[in-house]
Amino acid sequence: MTARIVALAFLFGLGMFRTVDAQTVPLVADLSNHLVAITTGFTGTDVLLFGATDGPGDVVIVVRGPSKDVTIRRKDRVGPIWVNSDALAFRDVPSFYHVASNRDIAEFTSKRVRALYEIGVENLKLKFVDPRQPDGVQKEYADALIRLNADRGLYNLENGKISLLANRLFRAQLHFPSNVPTGPYEVGIYLFRNGDVVSGEFVPLIISKTGIGAEVYDFAHNFAPLYGILAIIIAVLAGWAAEAAFRRR
């Protein structure tokens, strides 16, 4: 409730402050927090996105996480066990993807526009390391990639909700689960009128590990061999300490 009051107060102040600019800037948007800190007890969080338009229209939000290379493997059954068989590698796949709108996007946009702006998981332009694969194979693996990310809560198959207030103000809660990838995020906000984008704004968001967890994470990735040796030593010492404790009893 407090966050909502602050956001609304900011928006009304913004509207008064930018009375002249509103004629040339159809869309203004911002986040309640530009940095999400992941600590040891992180269980997920919500970030409030709020903004204003210069008049009626439809608003779409697209959140993309940092890109990475991904390999999807097919599992086939060999006798009583399942083993990895074929695999297909993707390039520059968004690690997080979320779309929100004030109403069904298909009601005010065309397939061409949605494909152009990559709105909706079905319109993601996934890149293959080996593009020579048949279209049917590419679609099968692309569907598997999207399904796996959706199961992890990193892709949303159904659009989130944007609340419009008085046809000018809007707000949306962006949810980030506990397993959200770290790195720079791009939050794109689009204003639609008559089926086309008339204005857009991109707001940066950083998700980063902090505290002891971040230090352990960085150490494990930057000094992997040493981290492995220390992990083994700690495990051996823990086992020895447990055995010694039982012997005393």
> Which of residues 224 and 28 earns the better pLDDT score?
28
- Exposure of 180 in the CB half-sphere (CA atoms within 13 A): 30
pLDDT band at 87, cuts 50/70/90? confident
Please choose, from the candidates 101, 93, 167, the residue with its C-alpha nearest in 3D space to the C-alpha of residue 127. 93
Alpha-carbon distance 25 to 15, whole Å?
A: 11
Q: How far is CA 19 from the centre of its chain?
A: 34
Alpha-carbon distance 45 to 146, whole Å?
A: 22
Structure tokens at 77: 């059954």
**β-pair type (35-38, 196-209):** parallel
DSSP state of 236: H
Query: Which strand ranges, in their side-by-side order, compose the sheet holding 127-128?
Result: 67-78, 81-94, 127-128
pLDDT band at 165, cuts 50/70/90? confident
pLDDT band at 16, cuts 50/70/90? very low
What is the identity of the amino acid at 34?
A: H
Note the pLDDT tens digit of each residue in 110-129.
Answer: 999 999 999 999 999 999 88
Alpha-carbon distance 47 to 194, whole Å?
A: 29
- Cross-strand bridge partners of residue 75: 84
